[in-house]
A and B are shown apart, each in its own frame.
Chain A
């Protein structure tokens, strides 16, 4: 291998128009995913503001009750299928090829098609607001028999559009998953064995395997739901001999693992960032990597814990309680590995590090309430109350979304080529952390007191905690302003980023910022050691000094 041509000559700016069309470059697709996701994040967030605005008083006074049902249904659906999965796929697109030294994804065209399905089903879902009868109103689970009612009798109705959109989202995710798994398995740089792979790639591989196993079950279940709704079959219709609980099995067989699809890459982000900002190797690399796959295995056999009150057999409750609690072991391994990494390290409290620490804090809290919910008697007691809502918002917003923000601040300089502003970033962190805890912590006492979820009016005794939660939610709404301001102004006129502004170790940091279209091209460096060699002085790749010197020369001349 020669490195004579590396780094490549800086190419003329290919223009920002690439971001608006069908482009097969994974780095462009990654940014398209993330920007699209944040567009829908704003819509989903706006719906959340309406929900919390409604709940600030005990009376149902802001929106009509039926509209309220549609709003929380769409809030959940948008946040999961149009924000969090696309934003994570965006990170996968940016990070997987650059971290493993691949020029692109294995199937670039399939990759682009998978992305363009997102705005299509997003549009479909948005359009359901404007059809007669309004959008779907049966909650983001769409349990029958509520979800197979079609009172107006129109062929095109909100619920049918919801099912179609979710099925299309499944198709898009499967395309993405095939691509990510193939890329990770077959396109790694020379010398990068599986056990020299960054943990983010391990967690992405685990998460995408879960997509491949779980999603088809949901798609199958959704097809049957659509048939029941549209063609009058009776798979889930008790009066025709069907079984509504069957749908719950299909739904949760995927949708519980979906939580691991969301949180695993965020574990990957934590595992990447803690070593960088504490200047220490990741504690127990092997165990952190393998724990991802133990989570996959266990994650596939816990789904019935969502159905403890659905009339399942007692032996099933006991079995699934045990498997659910066992999940705490591999996640605990990871949490202690991160603490071990932080222990005695030289901590740098940059914006990404703060988001990671905040996310870890919230995740541990969510893990504890998760164990409470796994316990059958507690679960039945708080089922369908705000305790559950609080628990999963801690997981999704408190841990996952904060991890995603950490990743965005950390890798923004790499893929945009400019530095985000630290001051605005820290303000964003502060507002997010305080807002999230203020919003979601009060939901736990509310749930224990017995406030049911999915209601627009409630007993006045719940008022205090609801007002606190609503204030937290509005704070969260405000917290997006410094974020957007930061991203936009940094993208337009932020200071130029060097190839490795955080002094991090990894193949992606041996590329110019932003990387050229085909990353390393033909000159993929040979990996000679494990990742995270902080403080060891050991180079990651052959000729590392020379590569870095050339990058510095290029930056000096620019």
Chain B
């Protein structure tokens, strides 16, 4: 992690060190990462619009009520993580940890819901382009949710290091950005897969 140095007295204003490299780098990474999803989304749309038999035989469509509940849980965790960040900035660490843990739990619930949904489906990864793209998109997104939960766990542990969140620490901000990113991707994914049937 970067350490900040105070600007030297009398030094030109531009000469101070830039403390936010990590966040800049992380935002650039997220922009780049979104292109992979964009590639998968456009592949999905292209395959779907040009398919003769989109759904595998015996599959009527996807059930959307339970995934909708999952969606609501995941999207509201964006709110709880924002609250957690708000309390961190006001140095109310207990409330920060509470809301942070709650966001983690909501993410974990989402993953659990997805696992339940997967196990009840009657098509597999190799069931045509529908099965392939369905598992690819939800699986790749689920991997990001799992990564987000891991990152949040790491930040939670780090919050017990005294004085860690004073100054140049940007991990919480980066993790929370990542979580919002994962949520936005899911909304697009939900619209593409469950709403557009």
Contact = CB atoms under 8 A, between A and B. Distances in A.
Nearest to A188: B14
Contacts of B22: 107
Choose among B33, B132, B136 the residue with the greatest number of A CB atoms under 10 Å from its CB.
Answer: B132
B43 A181 contact: no
B132 A235 contact: yes
B161 to A, nearest CB: 20
Contacts of B129: 234-235, 240-243
B137 to A, nearest CB: 11
Contacts, number: 117
Given A220-B39, A227-B132, A1 B20 contact: no
B133 A232 contact: no
A174 B32 contact: yes
B53 interface: yes
A221 B39 contact: yes
Contacts of A185: 24
B39 A233 contact: no
A241 B18 CA distance: 52
Nearest to A103: B17
Interface string B1-34: 0000000000110110010111011001101111
Given A216-B36, A219-B36, A234-B126, A182 B25 contact: yes
Contact of A213 (B32, B130, B131, B133): B32
A233 B125 contact: yes
A241 B47 CA distance: 8
Contact of A182 (B28, B132, B136): B28
A250 B35 CA distance: 11
Nearest to B35: A216
Interface in A233-251: 233-235, 240-243, 246, 249-250
A494 interface: no
A304 B133 CA distance: 23
A261 B88 CA distance: 41
B38 interface: yes
A249 B130 CA distance: 19
Contacts of A76: none
A235 B126 contact: no
B52 A241 contact: yes
A554 interface: no
Contact of A250 (B14, B29, B33, B43): B43
Interface string A300-333: 0000000000000000000000000000000000
A227 B136 contact: yes
Interface string A127-154: 0000000000000000000000000000
Nearest to B5: A522
B51 interface: yes
A384 interface: no
Interface secondary structure of B, over-half rule: helix
Nearest to B50: A243
Nearest to B20: A186
Contacts of B21: 106-107, 182, 186-187
A321 B29 CA distance: 32
B25 A246 contact: no
A290 interface: no
A177 interface: yes
Interface residues of B, number: 38
Contact of B43 (A187, A216, A224, A524): A224
Contact of B32 (A190, A216, A249, A253): A216
Nearest to A193: B14
A2 B39 CA distance: 51
B37 to A, nearest CB: 8
Interface in B134-154: 136
Contact of B47 (A179, A215, A235): A235
B40 interface: yes
Contacts of B50: 243
B79 interface: no
B61 to A, nearest CB: 17
Contacts of B46: 243, 246, 249
Interface string A71-110: 0000000000000000000000000000000000011001
A220 B43 contact: yes
A191 interface: yes
B182 to A, nearest CB: 16
A529 interface: no
Contacts of B40: 220
A2 to B, nearest CB: 10
B128 A187 contact: no
A178 B47 contact: no
A185 B39 CA distance: 27
A358 B174 CA distance: 47
A216 B39 contact: yes
Contacts of A243: 46-47, 50, 129
Nearest to B51: A241
Contact of B25 (A179, A221, A233): A179
A234 B128 contact: yes
B82 to A, nearest CB: 25
Contact of A246 (B43, B125, B126): B43
A526 interface: yes
> Counting chain A CB atoms within 10 Å of each CB, which of B24, B34, B53 scores highest?
B24
B32 A220 contact: no
Of all A-B residue pairs in the complex, the 4 with the closest CB atoms, nearest first, are A220-B39, A216-B35, A190-B14, A233-B132
25 contacts: A1-B11, A106-B21, A107-B21, A107-B25, A177-B28, A178-B29, A182-B28, A190-B12, A191-B12, A213-B32, A213-B35, A216-B33, A216-B36, A216-B38, A216-B39, A220-B36, A232-B126, A233-B131, A235-B47, A240-B128, A241-B47, A241-B52, A241-B54, A242-B132, A249-B46
Given A234-B126, A240-B129, A250-B43, 7 more contacts: A1-B12, A107-B22, A212-B31, A215-B35, A216-B38, A217-B36, A241-B52
